Chains A and B, each alone.
Chain A
């Protein structure tokens, strides 16, 4: 019971982005002294070592590998790379927004107080619970033009000869990848936004109802203003995660047909390990920095000003 209590309060944490400010901790007037300082340093050293050995060193090493401007000139002139940039932008623009907006709507749906809705939620989160690999491999096989479940279904029910989803057209394949990504990750963001919605005090809705706000107005005047900050933070985070999403593309389309559906994350790995050009691979990844840095800065500032720590 005590645990449940504690977890409830932890559940409400993201909503600090919305309303509550953190309780101020008493600040020590004096710095740590003597042996205490030694202890504190000893406690931080393991993490500092991990950070230096496995984050800082690789980052610096990567910057050094991708230092030659000629690499970027080489990339720019490559048609595969140009297509990859377009794919990445589409993947982010469509994938992230559809997923987040869908999650926002679904979280509203799961606010319904019905027993079967609770059961539905348990099914709905399954894609998130199942490891990425089996699902994406299954989707890959499901979309097979000749033997896949989808085309078998289209044939046996509507007598339609379905297309080769992943084998024939770049846009069909890219669409399939984006749909797979949404399938896998929308439940996760739904659960987060659901926690955000649940933390909105019920009294606010009651008060709004007194003032005549019902239906859509409830959403636009009460829910959304309170949820907007959390929604923005989630969208920014999701943008970064999606940018680094390797599995969806690698296992669903494999970058095919004819290398036309790669994104930066998969093309970097391909260049580094399949054609053995690590410097070129690093350059591919580094070329995402102009997109990444503003998002990171915005996210960090957002997190600091709203006092939420993600």
Chain B
């Protein structure tokens, strides 16, 4: 009897039901179209402007009449005076990113090991200091930070930027590591200790290998932070040779008639690596990002 009811119900109502389902589906599709347009318009604009041949930026086209890769060629061959050290600057960005990743992972994992696994006294104080650093907007610290870098004698030095990025990436690293370490049984550490392993052996042989997924998530976060961050790099780096790519990119805005097509081509070359990394490590990032964000 109940089977009859369950069969009968939908059959009687099917036309109505199907109509409603189709309507829902259609409105979902329409909504998605709006979302896609909203999302892609600024990105479409980057590409469209970059494909304009030289001199044609000031047009009323929605898509370049004669798309050309000329601007990309200029960027790759450093053929414009704002771009004369482009590959050097690209190298600087990679250097800053690499150093930030290494130091963030090293400092963050050591601190989280001492707090979470060795349970050092006053560890909570360190955790709270890190949490506080995480919630203070980085841009609010920029003015005194700049002056202190002068006091340390690090002005116009890539290491001042690395120091800044590490400062703002380690708090996030410490939280993720502490959270993640909860899933690793403390008994492993204890067993190793009983077998005579020193704390550094436990750290290198047990803690680090088991933390690999968290290390990847935080490493990606730190790399993207260092690559994308602008304000500190702009304030701390002043000479063309020591600049990173975002600073060089913003330099275009200083001139009165900015060559927007070169600028957008540079922007694409600059944006491709982080976008690729983002999509490759998206799954890993998701694990980490649920606990915080890429700071703006």
Contacts and interface: CB of A to CB of B under 8 A. Distances in A.
Per DSSP, are chain B's interface residues mostly helix, strand or loop, or mixed?
helix
A39 interface: yes
Given A59-B144, A188-B294, A278-B143, 19 more contacts: A11-B290, A40-B120, A44-B110, A47-B174, A51-B133, A54-B148, A54-B166, A55-B167, A62-B144, A127-B42, A128-B294, A135-B46, A137-B253, A137-B267, A141-B45, A142-B45, A187-B39, A240-B136, A303-B131
A247 to B, nearest CB: 6
Contacts of A146: 58
Contacts of A39: 114, 118, 198-200
Interface string B160-189: 000110110010001100111011001000
A32, A54, A131, A183: residue with the most chain B Cβ atoms closer than 10 Å: A131
Contacts of B134: 310
B96 to A, nearest CB: 14
B57 A44 contact: no
Interface in B133-171: 133-148, 152, 163-164, 166-167, 170
A9 to B, nearest CB: 6
Contacts of A61: 144, 147-148
A296 B163 CA distance: 25
B141 A62 contact: yes
Contact of B137 (A50, A106, A196, A265): A265
Contact of B126 (A27, A44, A248): A44
Interface stretch (B1-9, B28-36, B73-81, B84-92): B28-36
B264 interface: yes
9 contacts: A7-B283, A13-B291, A32-B120, A39-B114, A44-B110, A133-B228, A188-B289, A268-B139, A269-B235
Given A50-B107, A137-B263, A241 B291 contact: no
A123 B123 CA distance: 42
Given A120-B36, A273-B235, A58 B290 contact: no
A155 interface: yes
Contact of B296 (A120, A184, A195): A184
B296 A152 contact: no
B165 to A, nearest CB: 10
A126 B170 CA distance: 25
Nearest to A27: B119
B132 A285 contact: no
Given A40-B199, A156-B62, A269 B231 contact: yes
A185 B5 CA distance: 49
Contacts of A142: 41-42, 45
Contacts of A251: 250
Contacts of A225: none
A135 B284 CA distance: 24
B39 A32 contact: no
A98 interface: no
A246 interface: yes
B16 interface: no
B255 interface: no
A117 B235 CA distance: 42
B126 A127 contact: no
A113 interface: no
A36 interface: yes
Interface size class of A (residues with CB under 8 A): 35 or more
Question: Closest 10 CB pairs between A and B?
Answer: A244-B137, A134-B267, A43-B114, A62-B144, A47-B111, A10-B287, A58-B144, A39-B199, A129-B278, A131-B228
A80 interface: no
B213 interface: yes
Contacts of A222: none
A51 B249 CA distance: 31
Interface string B105-130: 01110110111001111010011111
Contact of B182 (A23, A31, A130, A132): A23
Contact of B43 (A62, A106, A126): A126
B213 A10 contact: yes
Interface in A226-274: 237, 240-248, 251, 265, 268-269, 272-273
Contacts of A27: 119
Nearest to B212: A3
B246 A133 contact: yes
B233 to A, nearest CB: 10
B143 to A, nearest CB: 5
Interface string A50-66: 11011101110110010
A134 B271 contact: yes
A40 to B, nearest CB: 4
Nearest to B235: A273
Contact of A246 (B45, B231, B271, B282): B231
A129 B274 contact: yes
Interface in A5-46: 6-7, 9-11, 13-14, 22-23, 25-28, 31-32, 35-37, 39-41, 43-44, 46
Contacts of B239: none
